Structure 1
Amino acid sequence: MSAKWKIDPTHSNVGFKVKHMMFTNVKGNFNDFSGDFELGEEGLKDAKLDFVAKTASVNTNNADRDNHLRSGDFFNVEQYPDLKFHSTSVEGSGNEYKINGDLEILGVKKPVSLKAEYSGLMKDPWGNTKAGLNVSGKINRKEWGLNWNSALETGGVLVSEDVNLDIELQLIKE
């Protein structure tokens, strides 16, 4: 029997990192996100996951960069306020899983497979049942139309095409 879960936003982080100038990583996250999940009694087996991040909430700790990311060069937050993920299947057992689903950015929906580590269940001090989930993966941003870049005089580009996802979720049973 499955149960419904929500993200506990105060104990979760939706992060990413991208190579800058081809040699260092710039990290960022989305501050405004939510999700509806159905988890079975056997961890993530047969789980259903729906997730939304508000693109205007992108945060890299640099106001100029964040404003550029919100512009039409990247997320175009006025026209596309949501980044969405909907699972289509979950494979694995124990605490190691692969979550397959559709990722939608800029109105472009593409299939992705993400690695997930399920930490199990725990009761918090107030009697709430919690579940822990770490999701990671790599996407090529150009597949979703995030094409902006700038060539470097020394060769290469300013922003890598690859985006590494690092998502830590604490879920709370409804």
Structure 2
Amino acid sequence: MSVQSNPGNRKQTPLLRGSHILLGLLVLLSLQTLAQNKYDVDYSHSRILFNIGHNGFTQMPGMFRGFEVTLDFDGQDIATAKLIVRIDASSVDMFHDKLNGDLRGNHFFNTEKFPDIIFTSREIQMLDQDRARVEGNLELLGVTQALSFDLTLNKKSPSPRSGRLTLGFSAEGELSRGGHGMTYGSPFISDRVHFQVVAELVRRDK
């Protein structure tokens, strides 16, 4: 089974083409339902967000606007599930044109040399019927480091507007940018980066 974004909407959709950092993970929390149906990301109600400390004064917010997600899952054994999230590094957006240009440059994401940020799951463990722990590897700037985060199913019910079954998810975790060699600006720019994914998945009409 695969879940993919619409490549034609990269610039308009605030949700990464396809983790955060990470939406394919979200389907794992309703295994039987998703094994039998196909779901699409509702981009108008989904985001991959992050924030990073600046000199201790603020936690500056940002997001990635482009990504693709592929999930391979047989609907039976969660241990065999495989998730790959590919984020377009150049889609980083911290809501300031000059800052965005700096982030794409050599000091930070170096997007010409490293255009993609890739997360690959290694293990997904169900904690209870609504929560999961995701373990995997994140490749950033050509350096691969272990990454784990928590995932929660917030709600599963028909949409009050469309009547289609909708799943709402949230995920969050932290990573070290320095662990991937992104050390520019330290310690004034914090090493720890907090990320959050919020997403709604809508079942396709049959």
TM-score between the two structures when normalised by the length of structure 2: 0.71
Deviation by residue 1:21-74 (Cα, 9 ceiling, x = unmatched): 1231000001112323357879xx555432222111111111111111100111
Of 132, 149, 153, which aligns to 1:97? 132
Of 70, 78, 81, which aligns to 2:115? 81
Deviation by residue 1:97-128 (Cα, 9 ceiling, x = unmatched): 21111111112221111011122433334454
Q: CA deviation at 1:148?
A: 0.8
Inter-partner Cα distance in structure 2 for 1:73 and 1:133? 33
Q: What is the aligned-residue identity percentage?
A: 25
Residue identity opposite 2:153 in structure 1:
Y
Matches within 5 A, 1:19-168: 19-37=53-71, 46=79, 48-91=82-125, 92-124=127-159, 125-126=161-162, 128-149=164-185, 157-168=187-198
Which runs of no fewer than 5 residues in structure 1 stay unpaired? 151-156
Q: CA deviation at 1:10?
A: 2.4
Inter-partner Cα distance in structure 1 for 2:149 and 2:96? 28
Q: Find out whether 1:10 has 2:39 as its counterpart.
A: no
More strand by share: 1
Residue identity opposite 2:117 in structure 1:
L
More helix by share: 2
Inter-partner Cα distance in structure 2 for 1:87 and 1:122? 27
CA contact (8 A) 1:6 1:35 kept: no
Residue identity opposite 1:52 in structure 2:
R
Report how many residues are paired: 167
Q: CA deviation at 1:160?
A: 0.2
Q: CA deviation at 1:173?
A: 4.2
The runs of 4+ residues in structure 1 deviating greater than 6 Å are 39-42
Residue identity opposite 2:190 in structure 1:
S
Taking a change above 3 Å as real, the CA distance of residues 133 and 37 of structure 1, as seen in their structure-2 partners, is farther
Task: Say what the alpha-carbon RMSD is for the aligned residues.
Answer: 2.6
Which runs of no fewer than 5 residues in structure 2 stay unpaired? 1-31
| SS at structure 1 position matched to 2:56 | coil
Inter-partner Cα distance in structure 2 for 1:20 and 1:84? 25
